[in-house]
Amino acid sequence: MNRYFNFFLFAYAVQSLRRRGFKSFFTFFVLALIVFLLSSILLIANSIQYELDMTLESLPDVTIQKLQAGRHENISTKELDLLLDIHGVQSAIPRYWGYYYFANAGVNFSVVGVDIYDKAYSKLLAQVLDTKEFERDGMFVGIGVREILSENYYKEYFNFVKSDGSLKEVKLSGVFDARTSLESNDMIFMSKELVQEVFGMKKEEATDIVLEVPNKDEIPNIISKIKEIYPDSRVITKDDMRISYQNIFDYKSGLFLALFVISLFTFFMIIYDRASGLSSNEKKEIGILKALGWRVEDILQEKFYESFIISFFAFVLALIVALFYVYILQAPILRDIFMGYSVLKPSFELPFTLDFRMLSIIFFLSVPIYVAAIIIPSWRVASMDADEVMR
């Protein structure tokens, strides 16, 4: 028999758990529930952080927006040559985009204009341009947009309501997919002429202008020169967007942190209750075992088996259920707490990401701590004389 594993002690531990069926099941259920909640919170947070990181990668180095009375207005494209003359600017590309509210579904679509002759200013746009052939009267949509249009019986075309109230029929040319659904799920790509027509933009106007700057150290100097060309502009760098995205994520993470702390507090309350002492029946059982000739190490080994069976299988079950809940069911309720209850955006799927460091933390916060909470009071009782324990 292996000195580190005693089959008979293990069998006795299983029988002991079965004998205390309701208590064992209740402890197992509570542990599994807390581990499930902790795992789900961290899995959702990791997935959304992954989406944000992927989205930040595709952002332009510098974005120029025109402000009027503190509000974003269309910007003139007449000064593009002046921007290209600035030392350190590799390319200056006007962007044509806007949010189109689809009242039937109560959602906003991100409509982006494409010029196949211009350089792609994002990885997503480059991916779409490489794989799709744009038509003057057609559009390519994200998966979320396609689902919403299908639900509203738009399978081959879509009628945009233009700024003058008339309708513009645009053919549905195809659907694209991307690595990050947070960025692409609500997008519609079509020619820049169509975007200008739908939003009522003039030919020499764009929504904003993006710059490509190979040397990031030159960005502060470039910004000062942009202000001379566009005095009424707001210049946004990729770092500005990263900070803004992170602030939103950190704010939402505060809600999850509150749930995390509550769950952790509940878990340690259970641990404290277990570590504060054994019940009279458990003490009596240990006394009987000592009277029958069991050694202290035998009792501790049997208690280790009991606590490990409950905590380890509760951890495994909770993790499996959390993975199913987050990535198969897409985390109903908990996801809404993080993303908000607004339906102004088509829903997106949480990408599958698995952080083994996070899983290790949850494991060491649950299994070893629970085992220790059982072993320590058991050792105190087992170290006493059998007759003293029985009394």
pLDDT, residue 281, reads 75
Alpha-carbon distance values, 280 to 203, 340, 386, 391 (Å): 85, 49, 14, 10
pLDDT, residue 79, reads 84
Q: 344 or 85: which carries more pLDDT confidence?
A: 85
CA distance 117 to 144: 27
CA distance 343 to 248: 18
> What's CA 149's distance to the chain center, in Å?
26
CA distance 379 to 377: 5
**pLDDT of 331 strictly over 90:** no
CA distance 135 to 346: 25
CA distance 181 to 179: 7
Task: List the Cα angle 375/263/14 in 5-degree steps.
Answer: 35
> Would you give the DSSP letter of residue 61?
S
Task: List the Cα angle 326/330/336 in 5-degree steps.
Answer: 100
CA distance 24 to 207: 63
Tokens read off for 18: 């079965």
Q: pLDDT over 90 for what percent of the chain?
A: 25
pLDDT, residue 98, reads 92
Confidence of residue 210 (pLDDT cuts 50, 70, 90): very high
Domain ranges in the chain are 7-55+245-390, 60-236
Contact 186, 343 (CB under 8 A): no
Contact 254, 45 (CB under 8 A): no
Q: What is the pTM of this model?
A: 0.68
pLDDT, residue 186, reads 83
CA distance 266 to 258: 12
CA distance 266 to 260: 10
84-103 pLDDT tens trace: 999 999 989 899 999 999 98
- Give strand pairing partners of 138: 171
DSSP string, 222-287: HHHHHHHH-TTEEEEEHHHHHHHHHHHHHHHHHHHHHHHHHHHHHHHHHHHHHHT---HHHHHHHH
pLDDT, residue 222, reads 93
pLDDT, residue 341, reads 43
**pLDDT of 298 strictly over 50:** yes
Judged by average pLDDT, the poorest of 169-173, 336-340, 381-385 is 336-340
> What's CA 34's distance to the chain center, in Å?
20
262-290 pLDDT tens trace: 767 777 777 766 656 667 777 778 778 87
CA distance 99 to 113: 12
pLDDT, residue 2, reads 46
CA distance 213 to 199: 29
Judged by average pLDDT, the poorest of 3-12, 21-30, 36-45 is 3-12
CA distance 349 to 327: 8
Among positive and negative, which fits the CA dihedral 353, 356, 361, 366? positive
Tokens read off for 106: 């109560």
CA atoms within 13 Å, Cβ hemisphere of 375: 16
Contact 314, 36 (CB under 8 A): no
Helix (H) / strand (E) containing 24 = helix 21-57
37-74 pLDDT tens trace: 888 888 888 887 787 777 777 778 899 999 888 788 99
